[in-house]
Structure 1
Amino acid sequence: MAAESPVLSNQRRRTRAALLQAAGRLLTQGVTPTVAQVADEALVSRRTAYRYFPTADQLLADAALELTAGEVTSRITATDPVDRVDELVSTINQMTLRNEQSLRTLVRTTLDAPRDADGPRRGLRRMAWIEQVLEPVRAQLSPTAFRRVAAALALTVGIEARLSLVDVAGLTDDEADLVSRWVARIIVQAALADPGDATLAQEA
């Protein structure tokens, strides 16, 4: 399958953001909107809205998270790259714990929805946070290494990481937080120690 063009990818992101912002506005007004109502508020066709969010549960769960997303980047104050990532993981862990039920709903509805190979991915917000935190070391890493460390860090945060650490591994909330932050620090330290593509080249 051909790669999606940057223009189309950016348009999808803008459309998704418009829907989430519209849902957030309605939620703050005390309304529990349907997907159709959110589409009308966002000036997006209802058909398009349902492609992005097949159910109201999925849309409202994601919109509720969007309302609290601003706190994530505002808490990143460190300059050391390892400490910056630690702050990010800690903050996302706290947000995940506070919004656990909504996030579990989001995972369930996403998995239950039909796959759309051309549709938007989940996790765009999370990847943007990770890349923002890593931005100061982008010049130290090859493009491949930067993508690799960002992808690896995505494994340490969010509801999926919590499901693995708490539901599967049986950790407490505090233990899950410590383990995810420990793994994230190791990932960044390893990336900075091997900033090129040598490791993967040797393993290929």
Structure 2
Amino acid sequence: MARVNKNRPQPPAPPPEPASSGRVAQRNRTRAAIIDATMQLMAGGATPSMSEIAAAAQVSRRTLYMYFPTLEQLLITATLGALTRDTIDHVLAGFTSHDPAQRVEELSRALGAYSSQSMHLGRALIRLTVEGTEPAAGGPRRGYRRVQWIEHALAPARPLLSADEFERLVSALCVLIGWEPIIALHDVRCLNQKQTDDVLAFAVRAVVEKALREATKQPRQPNQRASRRGQS
């Protein structure tokens, strides 16, 4: 048997991931697996059952219902996922600017253009999640992809902000990017699509620029990666 040299320096162990962060990441992975499995089943042209989806996602029916209480909610979420895969993901992959405000504005406008063809699905999804039961413990009702998009758009700003400042900015942008603000401006302000896009582009730019101005008021240590990962 080989003898272990106890005097040899051992590589430092990686820092443990915070328990809360690990649970959120696992829930996001499970949710993504369910949605991806549903999208693949729907690609064949049929409407899958909850049992078929659970089997394809390799989760129990109980787990499936914890994330999606109804088949209708799951099918709408998967349909929106398929649509965004061909639109929003393309925008995220094509960022050329390193200006966080510009990148977030591009994301906001892309979501606005995408919403014009799927507004009815967005309204239905909000209705189902608002009227539905509580989500899986600690998990989001919807929108984990939205958070991932925002974090990706804000990537150049991460070294300029503390972890808490970065998380606060992501949360603020969640209020301004997505179905809810688009529907509010359509219903409450009666704005057309271009007016809605312009207002939200103005709003997201203002929020990002303010966060960056405040961050430059005092010297900062090199930023650690935010501990809480985002969810859609």
Please, what TM-score do these two structures have when normalized by structure 2? 0.78
| SS state at 2:116 partner | helix
Higher relative contact order (CA 8 A, sep 6+): 2
Q: Which of 27, 39, 43 is the equivalent residue of 2:54?
A: 39
SS at match of 2:148: helix
Residues in 2 aligned to 1:94 and 1:191: alpha-carbon distance in whole angstroms: 26
Worse-superposed segment, 66-75 or 106-115: 66-75
Distance 1:47 1:119, change over 3 A: farther
Gaps of 5+ in 1: 199-204
> Is the 1:142–1:197 Cα contact (8 Å) retained in structure 2?
no
Separation of aligned partners in 2, 1:170 and 1:4 = 45
Identity %: 36
Higher Rg of the two aligned structures: 2
Q: How many residues align?
A: 196
> Larger helix proportion, structure 1 or 2?
1
Shift of 1:196: 6.7
Does 2:206 match 1:191? no
**2:183 matched to 1:163?**
yes
Q: Which runs of 4+ in 1 moved over 4 A?
A: none
- Give 1:88 shift: 0.7
**What's the offset of the Cα at 1:75?**
4.0
Q: Which residue of 2 aligns with 1:143?
A: 163
Q: Is 64-73 or 127-136 further displaced after alignment?
A: 64-73
Corresponding position: 1:102 with 2:117: no
Aligned partner of 1:202 in structure 2 is none
RMSD: 1.9
1:29-178 alignment runs, 5 A limit: 29-70=44-85, 71-72=87-88, 73-116=92-135, 118-121=137-140, 122-178=142-198
Q: Check 1:149–1:8 CA distance in 2 against 1; reply closer, same or farther (3 A cut).
A: closer
Aligned to 2:33: 18
Flag the 1:197–1:104 CA change in 2: closer, same or farther, 3 A.
farther
Query: For residues 79 and 197 of structure 1, do their structure 2 counterparts lie closer, same or farther at Cα, with a shift above 3 Å needed?
Result: closer
Residues in 1 aligned to 2:70 and 2:216: alpha-carbon distance in whole angstroms: 43
SS in 2 for 1:54: coil
Q: Report the alpha carbon displacement of residue 118 of structure 1 after superposing the two structures with TM.
A: 0.9
Deviation at 1:100, TM superposition (A): 1.2
